[in-house]
Structure 1
Amino acid sequence: MSNANLPSHPIILGSSSKFRAQILTHHNIPFTVLVSNINEKAVGGSRATADASELVLAVARAKADALLVKIQREEDGGEEKLVVTCDQVVAWEGGVREKPVSEEECISYLKSYTKAPAETHSAVIVTNTKTGKRVEGVDVARQHFHPIPDNIISQLIAKGDVMYCCGGFMIDDPLLFPYLAQREGDEDSIIGMPIKLLLRLLNEAAS
């Protein structure tokens, strides 16, 4: 990807996710990281009844609000920048899944995807620190799976990365490659940073 597709404004990634950072780096998008420490569980109401897209937008908005306060306090006006905040959940059979809270829950998640696909809802919000303009969107993608053997699930959990991923899986883990079936949507979106949506929002926020 050419940087000609990007606005000239400095970009702040409001996420500690190494996976999102890797995607931006892969696409030659320069950025710095600044993280807001919010209680995500306190945003968006009950996960049992939440609409997945509305939930991720609510959390990403809360992250943006917290970061803007932090930036304004530290920089007192400063240079015009674009702040990117994100959130993602997996919708499955009418429920919402975030990061697994235990190994047992992760095992349950991975086994369940043979029955129905994992549907990722990835919110991206871009806020212009100078103008206050904020634009947002949600990208939805689906990943189908073949049955994942127990020994592979054990190896994935032992490696640990899946415990930090909503829905308890990483499609770019080589251990999982043989068990990935049909995909509806882009790989970047399922990982948590839909690049096409991000680029559109960056340019909208800069204009």
Structure 2
Amino acid sequence: MSRPLILGSSSPYRRELLGRLQLPFSVVVPDVDESAQPGEPPAQLAQRLALAKAQAVALQHPQALVIGSDQVAELNGQALGKPGSHERARAQLQAMSDQSVCFHTAVALCCLDSGYSASALAQVRVQFRMLQDDEIERYLLAEQPYDCAGSAKSEGLGIALLERIESDDPTALIGLPLIHTARLLRGAGVLLP
């Protein structure tokens, strides 16, 4: 029996990425509190939220394979969330100037009916250039990345803010690690090209 595939996410970036696998899927926005628990490390936060998103949607659709994903940027041991505003994005980019930032991108896949549950974590190390305040301002006005962890879109103009990206899954930085996602789907019996 072929199970429906659902992406449990409100992210247009994840929707676009999953579409690259050329599988039919629907999207359901999970109702999950994304607050960090006291003392929770950024990588653990990403993993917990990815699984919580998948499980929340799976409760509504127990026969489906549900993908949940979350990304948390980490600077000097501290989690950086989505800035949500121009001022917070400016502060994030100023803090990340000439720094190495780790982006933890977790993906989880579960199906309540079959009992399948698996997850993976991709980590991307990004080295930011020394950024001047005027170029930060120009970038923010041009791209308005207020819904992106770390305030920069590597798939767009944000690439100009970077020195280098180190990753074993290049799509992880955009928000869904497709290499890991494909592995989890194959593990659940989904046929991929």
Category of TM-score, reference length = shorter chain: 0.7 to 0.9
2:4 and 2:112 map into 1 onto residues whose CA distance is 10
154-163 or 141-150: bigger deviation: 154-163
Aligned residues: 189
- Whether the 8 Å contact between 1:111 and 1:147 is mirrored in structure 2 is no
Q: Report Cα offsets for 1:137-166 as digits up to 9, x if no partner.
A: 111011112233434422443356411011
Amino acid at match of 1:45: Q
The structural deviation recorded for 1:22 is 1.3
Equivalent position of 1:77 in the other structure: none
2:59 aligns to what? 69
Residue in 2 that maps onto 1:23:
17
What is the match of residue 44 of structure 2? 54
Q: CA–CA distance in 2 between the matches of 1:158 and 1:27?
A: 33
Name 2:154's counterpart in structure 1: 171
- Runs of 4+ more than 6 Å apart: none
Please tell me whether residue 104 in structure 1 is matched to residue 94 in structure 2.
Answer: no
Instruction: Indicate how the Cα distance of structure 1 residues 161 and 82 shifts in structure 2: closer, same or farther if over 3 A, else same.
Output: farther
How many Å separate the matches in 2 of 1:204 and 1:27? 15
Of the structure 1 ranges 148-157 and 176-185, higher mean CA displacement relative to structure 2 is found in 148-157
Change (3 A) 1:67 1:82: same
- Once the two structures are superposed, residues 65-84 of structure 1 have per-residue CA deviations (whole angstroms, 9 ceiling, x without a partner) of 22122224xxxxxxx43100
User: Which stretches in structure 1 are left out of the alignment for 5+ residues?
Assistant: 1-7, 73-79
What TM-score do the two structures reach when normalised by structure 2?
0.87
Preserved contact between residue 82 and residue 206 of structure 1 (Cα < 8 Å): no
Partner of 1:88: 71
Identity rate of aligned residues, in percent? 28
Displacement of 1:123: 0.7
Q: Indicate if the aligned counterparts of 2:55 and 2:110 stay in contact, CA closer than 8 A.
A: no
Query: Which residue is 2:96 aligned to?
Result: 113
CA contact (8 A) 2:84 2:147 kept: no
Contact 1:142–1:190 (8 Å) recurs in 2? no
Structure 2: unaligned runs, 5 residues or longer: none
What amino acid is the match of 2:27? V
SS at match of 1:168: coil
